[in-house]
Structure 1
Amino acid sequence: MTDSRGFVRAHTRLSPVPLVPEILLHQAEEAIALWEQTELSSSDRQPPPFWAFAWAGGQALARFVLDNPSLVGGHDVLDLAAGSGLVAIAAAKAGAASVTAVDIDPLSLAAVAANAAANAVTVTPVERDVLDEAATAAVVLAGDVFYSREMSTRMMSYFRRAAAGGAKVLVGDPGRAYLPASGLRRVAAYEVPVAATLEDAAIKHTTVWQVTVD
């Protein structure tokens, strides 16, 4: 796809995030139709367009960061599996020294760039799988990443290494199937409005967890 940022803008609408209305995102209304459009616009098989929606875990984590700016203020922050960049944008607004948003989907990084520009903040998009690399950021943030057994295992391995190295690691999750049973400490909870076409309820009880070092 030659104009990823143009594709993002053409197939979404810039609108406020329900739980975090001070942040605007390019958001789609219907996932399947958008996924079909991504397939038609590329010769390669495309991942689901996670970048086009404000997922519950990201909303809760973004709200927590904005309400507790000392968590990220003056620190280098990594938003892992960034999707739309919602959490990265919240960290930048809260005064992070630098914010890096990592994802493996090129359209996600185009969305991050478009959304950061719409919110007048600086976020560095990185297209790479970093889960086997050393964790170097002082703060690691991730929303809605426990959606498969393999991903949950890899994420927690990365999170634990980061926490053991002294990083503060926070994860937003609305009770996904592969939420780990240990290694997490609850720090906040929210009732998050979500798109009815994406979830099994209009409001998701969503928890912000801090990864602990066992």
Structure 2
Amino acid sequence: MVTDPETFILANTSLMAPPHVPEIRLRLASEVHDLWLKTEEDLQEIGLPPPFWAFAWAGGQGLARYILDHPETVAGKRVLDFASGSGLVAIAAALAGADSVLAVDIDPWAATAVRLNAEANGVAVRFSSDDLIGHSLDADLVLAGDVFYDRDFAAALVEWFTSLTADGLTVLAGDPGRSYRPTERLEPLATYQVPVTRVLEDSEIKKTTVWKFR
């Protein structure tokens, strides 16, 4: 059983561009279903979560697209990419001129995925595996792609994001219509039709909106 993150990621992914963000290259699963099964079989015994870091999710693609198209959103700012996964959004922020970028994800293998992907794009992205929900942040802007998929998790995020905005931070979220999106607390900024993999989603195109948390 392979337990070294870098060895596993390099062996089971390919460097490719997400369809909605062709400026960026990521190590993504070329055979989505096979990788999902492989991680379940090979890594379940050591308690690792599914390989969310190996896919360019719709919310992240939409948010990364918005940042690259509107670099003034992040230029010169301290940016935190929450639930970073592959690091797609963090990399977009770095390319768009953020002063500093911190990718945050509690998945222990996301650190390696983000490092490999940042290197592939020639940008500097720091990483933290700390659970920051509920804590104040040393940042100007929080980016969150595809985070409203679970009821309890979304409720915790709404409370946290409310606190952060009260502290003067800006929170932007990319979301393709997940069940627990707090629409009443969100202001739409842009909407995209994002190509995704049918294996993971219910359609090949997901209408994805970038929202500003109010």
TM-score, structure 1 as length reference: 0.94
Q: Which is further off, 37-46 or 151-160?
A: 37-46
For residue 84 of structure 1, what is the amino acid of its counterpart? S
Residue 184 (structure 2) pairs with residue 178 (structure 1) = no
Question: Among the aligned pairs, what percent are the same residue?
Answer: 52
Q: Distance in 1 between matches of 2:72 and 2:157?
A: 25
Q: Which is further off, 51-60 or 40-49?
A: 40-49
| 5+ long unaligned stretches in structure 2 | none
For residue 193 of structure 1, what is the amino acid of its counterpart? P
Paired position in structure 2 for 1:150: 152
Q: CA deviation at 1:170?
A: 0.3
For residues 34-113 of structure 1, what are the structure 2 equivalents within 5 Å?
Answer: 34-39=35-40, 40-41=42-43, 43-113=45-115
Q: Distance in 1 between matches of 2:6 and 2:157?
A: 28
Q: CA deviation at 1:2?
A: 5.2
User: RMSD between aligned alpha carbons?
Assistant: 1.4
Q: CA deviation at 1:41?
A: 4.1
**Contact in 1 for aligned 2:33/2:199 (Cα 8 Å):** no
| 5+ long unaligned stretches in structure 1 | none
Q: CA deviation at 1:144?
A: 0.2
User: What number of residue pairs does the alignment pair up?
Assistant: 212
Q: Distance in 1 between matches of 2:49 and 2:36?
A: 8
**Contact in 1 for aligned 2:87/2:118 (Cα 8 Å):** yes
Residue 161 of structure 2: which of 146, 159, 162 is its match?
A: 159
Q: CA deviation at 1:59?
A: 0.2
Q: Distance in 2 between matches of 1:123 and 1:23?
A: 14
Paired position in structure 1 for 2:14: 13
For residue 187 of structure 1, what is the amino acid of its counterpart? L
Q: CA 1:204–1:124 in 2, change beyond 3 Å: closer, same or farther?
A: same
Paired position in structure 1 for 2:4: 3
Extract structure 1 runs of 4+ deviating beyond 6 A: none
**Contact in 1 for aligned 2:94/2:124 (Cα 8 Å):** yes
Q: Which is further off, 73-82 or 178-187?
A: 178-187
**Contact in 2 for aligned 1:5/1:110 (Cα 8 Å):** yes
Q: Which is further off, 89-98 or 102-111?
A: 102-111
Q: CA 1:45–1:31 in 2, change beyond 3 Å: closer, same or farther?
A: farther
**Contact in 1 for aligned 2:3/2:43 (Cα 8 Å):** no
For residue 24 of structure 2, what is the amino acid of its counterpart? I
Q: Which is further off, 114-123 or 5-14?
A: 5-14
Deviations 1:152-210 (A, max 9, x none): 01111221111111111100000001111321100100000001111111111000000
Q: Distance in 2 between matches of 1:188 and 1:106?
A: 32
Deviations 1:92-148 (A, max 9, x none): 000001000000101112111110000000000111111021132101001000010
Paired position in structure 1 for 2:25: 24
